[in-house]
Structure 1
Amino acid sequence: MDEQKARLQEIVMNQARFIEAVYRFDSMYNSDYPDGNEAATISQIKEAHENFAGFGDTGEFTLARKLIGQTAQIDFILRHRHNQSDKPPPIPYSSNLAEPMRQALSGISGITIGLDYRGELVMAAHEPLPALGWGVVAKLDLAEVRAPFIRILGYWALFAILLVGVGTYLFYRVGSPIIRQLQASEADIKTTLNSIGDAVIACDCNSFITRMNPVAENLTGWRLEDAMGKPLPEVFKIVSSLTGETVASPMEKVLQDGVIVGLANHTDLIARDGSRIPIADSGAPIRGEQGQISGVVLVFRDVTEAYEKEKQLRESEARFRNLYLNAPIPYQSLDSDGRLISVNNAWLNTLGFTQFEQAEGKWFGDLLPESYQKLFQDRFPKFKERGETHNVEFEMIRADGIPIQVSFEGRVSRNNQGEFVQTHCLLTDITEKKQMEQQLRQAQKMEAVGALTGGIAHDFNNILGSIIGFNELARERLDDKHPVKSFLDHVHTGSLRAKELIAQLLSFSRQSDSTKTSLLLEPLVKETLKMIQATIPSSIEINPHLQGTSELTIHANATEIYQTLMNLCANAAFEMTESGGQIDISLEQVELDESQAQKKMLTSGDYVLLTVSDTGPGIPPENLNRIFDPFFTSKPVGEGTGLGLSVVHGIVKDCAGQIDVDSKLGQGTTFRIYLPLFHDQERESSSEVADESHASPASAVILLVDDEPTLVELSQAQLQLLGHQVIAHTESRAALSYFQENATAIDLVITDQAMPHLTGLDLIQKMRLIRPELPVIVCTGFSQSITPERIRQLGIQSLLMKPILKDDLHRAVQKALQKEA
């Protein structure tokens, strides 16, 4: 009976170590099994158990675990021999049944005689499985164990005298079936071992092979009968797949430390034929009844396919990592505290960093202006809760301190429990886009103001013309000592200022008469600087930088370019009146490519860059976007109209150019004007040739046409004072009828342009059909249809802009009549 106990205990211990080895292997390499590595172990044990029917008439293995709930229970894992149900019913842990299994689940190893799960008295060897929290039992019904010996005792009573001989005979004759049953049990264990899907090799403490399953035979290339008794390193040769160097067998570590040991990654098994097979391996100790190590079991598998998948995964990760790092759009990830944990190269370039370590761990708010930091602090928790945000625009500060405008798109990732992991955000630098939008808004605003100016200019000039003209007539009828004369002088001065203001408005809106020619810019700049130097304080120094610019030519109006330069320098000088400083003026030729030109809303090509810089106090940031607005001025009341820079803007735009401004408080302001380079050999200088004086012609018959009765009355009186005979009409069709009847009697026609029925140009064309050489003067307060080219085509002698002063009218009449003569 002691021999049976020992044999049962050895078998149950080997079975326990084997199960633990399978579990350790699954823990390391089957963690992705659908229900976990424990379920993987159960699956393999059940599969092997299907080929095991038990031993003897009643012998069997049972495997169970303890379930903790309202009532603790013993949950059997394997199908029972005496109960063919795939899932045996659990037994209360407090029951007196299944005593051997209760001992095993309590962590006790040994031999017990007690009731099994059926209530039958059995002899059982029980062993705990600490790694799993399970227990394993190998048992025989006690009746089967005792049956031979009971028969022996009966024979002993009848044949006492033959006790020794007969007892010996019976021991071998009757005990041998039990031994055969245990041998059958051993065969069943072998069957179980052979059913395992992984390779298994068992060794004794001296590293000699004792067991080997078919999978191990297939991988190593050794048959069991050839490998049995050989040293493990001779059969199980392993090397590093990276270096080819021999790797120490895990058996040595198991025997030394008595623990389960796994192989390092990238280990190859050298098969008997010399082929190399990537494997994953673990080793576990085999312990005896007293816990002593009696050998080692190795469990390993071919991981060629797994390694290939891992390689493909690494390559895929590398591709996506490379795609992420080199994506053209800036990308960043933040942790739950709003700190940077990942950025790509585009992000580094956009924010001015050279490597991630400079930004790693930074709080995102530190990259924002102070005014945005509190906003980020308040909104980041809401972003994490909501999970996404779109098209958020804000300002960031680059590493070099330069502010940029960005657009933000973001999402968050969460774990299986729905908890926040990190953000995934895209940033788009929209600085240039915002600048272009600002330029477009400015252009649209200027266009709108220009349209408004043109719309009111005609009516306003007519009104102002009446005031100026009749005031001039009244002043001429009074001597200098008349008390009213000084009042009329003030009216005249104010009217002239209003006339100048309208002229500036029309110049700003580019609806005044502007004749452009090819113009050498350097002589004009030098001439203008002489005028400026004479009008500014000596504490302000002017530094021209004009070397090598003598041939730079533009297509523009010389007076307008002069006015542009005068306005810019006058503004700079005004700001430095008290402190002094310097003004730098430079000319250079530049070439703008498609990208540069697009940013400035220009076409690509060659440009002349006129730069005016000063060392004054600078323009406050809040005023930069308004300096070109009409009537905006930072000067004291009475010091300026607010039209200077508006006029400059209009002149530059009319020349198909662009004006930019940079300013920093305390450092000064720089204006850059880009004007298209003009490639034409015919050039005109900036100076105007004065009109030659001529004697007044004799009295002439003048046909005067204007739809404003007041202006007709005024012009008629002025012309009559000059000695001319005036025939006046306020309706263009009536004037045409009169001319058709008296064409030869008319010496000169003076007509307004904007009239109902027939405009001034229409009227002239019809008159010229009758008399082609007819001298004509056209007056207008505003008309987009009158261009210098149209004037030349129609042979018009003069174009007068309302309001018209008496002297201007006199000179125009003289000029027209002289050419006629």
Structure 2
Amino acid sequence: MHPDKFRRLLAAALAVPLVALAALGLFFAVLLHYDARAHGELNQIDNVVTATEQMQDLIGTQEALARRHEIAGGAAQQSALAPLHTITRIRMAELQKMALGDPRADALLETLNDQYLLWMGWAQETLAGKTFGLTIAQNDARGWQQMSAIHKTLRELLNLEHARRERQAAAIARFKRHTIEAIALSALLLGLLLATLTRQSLTRVSRSYRKALDEQERISGELARSRQRLQTTLESIGEGVLCCDAEGRVTFVNATAAKLTGWSTAEAIGQAAQDVFVIVEESSRRPREHLWSAEAVHALLASWSGQSLLLGRDGSEYLVDHSASPLQGAERQFAGMVLVFRDVTDRLRTERALQTTEKLAVAGRLAASIAHEIHNPLDAIANLHYLIETEEDPQLQREHLKMAKQELARTIQITRTMLSLYRESEHPVPVIMSELTQGVLLLLERRALQQNITVEQSYEGHCRIEGFPAELRQVMTNVLVNAMDAAGQGGRIQVRIEDQSAEELRGSGVLIRVVDSGPGLSSDTGNRLFKPFFTTKGEAGTGLGLWVSLGIVQKHGGSIRIYNSCESSLPGACVEIYLPARVLQLGANRLVSEEVHSAAMV
């Protein structure tokens, strides 16, 4: 199970009791709210009762003052009654402002207010001596009747409020009893609900956890099997694999790497990578400089990639192609490097043998033409030598001698051009491609004449580069021979060489175009031209010419492509070769075995 899903299940299991407790808390809050509201109403009733009793006392006091007017005099009692009347009016107004909430109580309060005002009028008139023709007894009876009505109304109001208070108290008592019962029932139900839901949730969590453990065990088993398969694969492949950490310490070597480096796995682990994988340049045997910097990963990988001579710990030497790839950590930071290398000694020797075979094949194809080209000037020299011996005129002898020297110089030029196909320098040297191409055309001159092929030449600029002349002559020989074969009898070939200025994707150099008047390329042929042993000439071709030429051009850091020409006068194939002014990369090492040298000399 995914960790996020497991966390969601666990959160759901814990959320159920929390939600239930929150609901119970909300229920308790509602109960407390209603309890506080009920007690508020009870307190309000008590305030009304207290205010009513205070009103009853004030009215009783005023009644007593009104009855003493015979003893103290009306004026004195009237002055004492005035503030009590004011206080009574204030208390009456406060009592009326209290929201009694009972229509009967409100009606009694209105009646009380009217009765009090009526009695207060009687009291003030009596204290002022106004009886309106009534006797004292009749006037007192009138006041007594009014006061009795006030007291009756006060008693009814108090009885009504006391009854309300008893009902409210009884309601509060019932509410508390019901609240206790509801709390007990809610607790019981909540406990049962929590127990059931928690059990279900924990059961789901337990099952999910068990499933997650089983899944983890399965994944661990698959990882172990995958690791074993990977280990077996790495141990079985024919390429060496060396892994190191961010500090450049070896963490893994497979069997092939251990064999080529001469270090066993146990000995190599923990060693510095440059101490285990010791490489030098093949030609100069100069050690390769290894840059180890986790901050400059691209430079690090570039310094560990290429083709070099591997020096084994046991003294063995291997030509290896090697490349490096970075390892990334959890946060995509540099965590190390994987170095993959393969022994290419036999393959390079085979390729060089094929290249030498192609050279010999070219020489064989040119042998008849070269023999004819050498025979003609030698025959002319022999005839001129006879004329010189028989001629007595010194002037004619000098002319014959001059003609013999010219024929001899032509023979020397042909032989030098032929030998230059095999003589090679160890390092790039200045080459003028126009002169080199003219020398190749000199060797192919008789072949062009036999097939009546017209060769048009165009050279623009200095046409100077750095390279290996013998290999470049081999390329031009292959291209020109293919063009003559494609042009056929009476055909036409155009050779254009011009300086190429620097562009965005490549530097300055020389651009060579060889166009023939042949039938051009088919789509199937164009895709297979540079594959070894593919030929369109049947038994007459080896199928190695263009393959070798591609390797030589790439070795010089250039490019070669073949496409059908768009010119109406030359509708055949166009071979376009770009060679940089300086050799950008020596893609193939120049160490050739003694056996290959011997075969070339033969």
Q: TM-score range by the shorter chain?
A: 0.3 to 0.5
Larger Rg: 2
Instruction: Indicate the structure with greater helix content.
Output: 2
TM-score (norm 2): 0.35
TM-score (norm 1): 0.27
More RCO (CA 8 Å, sep 6+): 2
